[in-house]
Structure 1
Amino acid sequence: MTDELLALVGPDLREDVARCAAAAGYRIRTAPAADCRRDWLRAGVVIVDVEAIGVLAGLGPPGRDGVIAVTDHEPAEEIRRSAMNLGADQMITLPADEARLVGVLTGFRSPSRGTAGALALIGGHGGAGATTLAAAVAAVASESSRVLVLDVDEYGAGIDLALGIEGRSGLRWQDLTLEGGAVRASSLHRALPQVNDHLSVLCPQRDNARRIGVDAVTATMDAARVDGDLVVVDLPRTFEAITNAILDSVDLVVLVTTASLPGVAASRRVAARIAERAVTAEVAVRGPAPSGLRAVEVADAIGLPLITAYRADPALPSRMESGRLRAAPRSPLGRAARTIRGRIGTADRPAA
C-alpha cells in the first residue's frame, strides 16, 4: 500500500480530508473525478464524495480496495449503492467523524498486494521495431510474472505473429463482449491464445473490419492490473480514442525509433502527441546509425529521456520466420527488453 491518497472531493470537504490524511501519514493528491483513471489504481487510498461517486458511476472504473466515501449530509440510497460498486463499504460523515476517518486510513497502511504495472510501446515511425520489442518485453516479463499483451494496432501484422502463436485458438478483440463494462482477468486468460502458462495475448482478428471498442480495452486493462498481471500494450501511431485512453492508463510509454535522421524527424511528432497526455515517456533507440548519430543525441533531439539503446540483429527476421521470437539474456534485444521490464513494478505475485 502506497502512502499516497487520492482525494476526489469538492472544496467543501477538501480541508477536512486533507487534515485527516495528514494525521494518518498520507501524501494527498487531488484530481477531477472525470479524469482520474491513471491515479485510481495507483493510489494507496481513494476518498470520494457524493458528486465524485455520481461521476464515477457513469465511468465504471474497476472496483478496488481502499475506497472511502465521505459526505457532509445523509446521501440517497442510490449513492450508497454506487459507492459500494466502487469498492467503498464505508460512508463517513465529515467533520463529525474525523477521528473515525483517521482510524480507517491508518488501518489501510498495513501491507497489502498492490496492482501491477502497465507499459505501452509505440513506434516513432514505420519499421521502428516497436512490436518486436513489445513481444520481447512480454516474453522476458513472463519469466517472473503473469503477463497480458494487448495488441490494439488494427492495421499491423500482429504481435501474435511475432510471438509465433498466430494459429492458436482463442478469443480476439472482436470476439470479446462485455456486460456492464466488466471482465474477469482469470477467465480471460483461459480464453485467449497463450504463449505459455504466464503469457496471454489479445489481438485483433484478421480480416474482421469491426473496430476495437475503447470500453473493452480499458476494462480489460483495469481487470488485468487489479488481478496482478503486468500489461504490455502494442500501440498504433494513430492517436485515436483507444490510443489516448491507453496513454491515460499506463505507467510508462516507450517510444521506439531507429538512429536515423528520418526516424528522429518522425519520432519528434509522435513524442509531441504523447506529451499531450501527460504520461511518463522514454525512448528506445535501435541501431545501427547510418548518420553516426549516438543514442543520447537521438533522445535529445526527440526530447525524451533515453531508456535503452540496442543493435539490430540481422539474423532475427529469419529466426522469427521459423519460430517465435526469443530474447536471449545476452542478446541486444534481450538486454533492452530486460532494461524496460525493470522499470515497471508488479504486484508481489510470481508467475504460478
Structure 2
Amino acid sequence: MSETLLVLVHADLRDDVARCAAAAGYRMVVGEPASCRAEWLRARAVVADPEAVTALRSASVPRRDGVLLVAAGEPPPAVWRAAIDLGAGEAALLPADEGHLVRRLTDLRMPRRAGGGGIAVIGAHGGAGASVLAAAAASVAVDDGDRVLLLDADDLGGGLDLTLGVEDRPGLRWQDLTLEGGTVSGQALHRALPAVGDRLSVLAGRRDDPRPVTADAVLATVDAGRAHGDLVVVDLPRADSAVVRGVVESVDLVVLVTTATVAGCAAARQVAARLLHDAVGVGLAVRGPAPGGLRAAQIADAVGMAVLAAYRPDPRLPGALEDGRLRLGTRSPLRRAARAIVQAARIGERAA
C-alpha cells in the first residue's frame, strides 16, 4: 500500500478533502469511479462522495478497507448500503467534519498486515513457455511456504491442470464458478478447487465446454485470493481483452516471457507496447537457446524492460510434461527463473 489517497468526489468537495489529505500526510490522487481499479486496489485510503459510491458499485470493484464516505449532507439509505458493501464504515459531512476526517485518515496510515501478492505471466508469442513458467512460479512459492492460487486465464491453452497433473481431480472449473454480486470467498475457493498438496489450488477451464472465461470471474477470483492472503499467479492469454487489462491492473508484477530470438524480441516489443504500457511492475523472462547469439540484455534494451530471469532450456522438461506432472529439480534452470520472479514480485509488493 502506498501513502496515496484516492479521491472520488465532486469538485465542490475537492478543496475540503485536499486540506484533510495534506493534514494527514497523504499524496492525493483524483480518479474517476468507472476507471480507477488500479488506484482503488493500491491506495492507502479512498474518499468517495455519494455519486462516486453509486458508480463504484456498478463498476464491481472489490470490497476493501480504508473507504470513507464524504458528503455535503446526510447520505440517503441506499447510498449508505452501497458504501458499506464497498467497505466504508462511517461518513464525514464536510466542511463540518474536517477534523474527524483528518483523524480517520491519520489512523489509516498506521501499519497493517498486507494481503497476498499477485503475479501475471504472459507469453510474447506462441511457445514462449509462459504457462510452464507460471506453474513453476506457483510451485516455488509453495515450497517457500506460501498459499497459492494459480489461475489459468488462457482458455485456448492446454490447461495448467494438465501441466500439474490434476486434470482428473474433482473440483470447480471456470465454467462452474458462479458469482453473486461479483465477489467470491478465497477460503471457499481453496476448498472447492483441484489442489496440488495442501497449499496450491488450481482454477482452469473445462476442455469440453466452449464458454470463455469472463473478466468479472477472473478479477473477482484474483481479488478473493489476495484478500485471503494468497499469492495469486495468473497465466494470461496473449490478447487485448478485458481479462488481460483487468489482471494487469490488479497484480504487483507482470512477467513477459519470450525466447531469445529476433522474432521473439519483435513480438515482445509488440505485446509490451499494446498490453503492458499501464502496468505498475513489469519485467522480462528470456528463455534460451539463442540460435543467433541474441543476448537477454539486448532484448531488454529493445523492449524497454528489465530482465527478471534469463534461463537455458531444460532437456528433461518436455518429457516430464508429457508424463503429466511438472517436476522441478533442485538445479533446474526453470526453478531458478521461477524463484527470481517470485522474489521480484515480493519486492514489488513491499514497495507498493
TM-score, normalised to structure 1's length? 0.94
In structure 2, the partner of 1:301 is: 302
For the residues of structure 2 that align with 1:290 and 1:90, how far apart are their CA atoms?
62
Maintained 8 Å contact 1:42/1:115: no
C-alpha distance in 1 between matches for 2:150 and 2:217: 14
CA displacement at 1:150 relative to structure 2: 0.8
After superposition, where does 1:184-263 map in structure 2 within 5 Å? 184-263=185-264
What amino acid is aligned across from residue 134 of structure 1 in structure 2? A
Is the Cα–Cα contact under 8 Å of residues 33 and 59 in structure 2 kept in the other structure?
Answer: no
Q: Which amino acid aligns with 1:89?
A: G
Letter in 1 for 2:16: D
Pairwise CA RMSD: 1.9
Query: Are residue 124 (structure 1) and residue 124 (structure 2) matched?
Result: yes
Query: How big is the shift at 1:329?
Result: 4.5
1:243-293: per-residue Cα shift (whole Å, max 9, x none)?
222223222211100001111122222112123544432111011110001
The Cα of 1:135 is off from its aligned counterpart by 0.5
Query: Which residues in structure 2 correspond to 1:1-352 (within 5 Å)?
Result: 2-143=2-143, 144-345=145-346
For 2:218, the aligned partner's letter is: V
CA distance in 1, matches of 2:329, 2:100: 54
Once the two structures are TM-superposed, the CA of residue 87 in structure 1 deviates from its matched residue by 0.8
C-alpha separation between the residues in 2 aligned to 1:245 and 1:24? 31
Q: Give how far 1:182 is off.
A: 1.7
- Post-superposition offset of 1:14: 2.0
Which segment is superposed worse, 255-264 or 55-64?
A: 55-64
Deviation at 1:323, TM superposition (A): 4.7
Cα separation, partners in 2 of 1:10 and 1:329, compared to 1, 3 Å: farther
Q: 2:138 touches 2:200 (CA, 8 Å); kept in 1?
A: yes
Matched pairs, number: 348
SS at match of 1:206: coil
Distance 1:99 1:329, change over 3 A: farther
Change (3 A) 1:166 1:89: same
- State the distance in 1 between where 2:186 and 2:148 align: 11
Deviation of 1:207 after TM superposition, in Å, equals 1.6
Say which SS state the counterpart of residue 51 (structure 1) adopts: helix
Q: Distance in 2 between matches of 1:328 and 1:108?
A: 44
**Segment drifting more, 106-115 vs 251-260:** 106-115
Deviations 1:297-351 (A, max 9, x none): 01212232211111111111112223522334432111111111012239x9xxx
Contact 1:66–1:108, Cα closer than 8 Å, also in 2: yes
**For 1:171, what is the secondary structure of its paired residue?**
coil
Is the Cα contact below 8 Å between 1:116 and 1:345 reproduced in 2? no
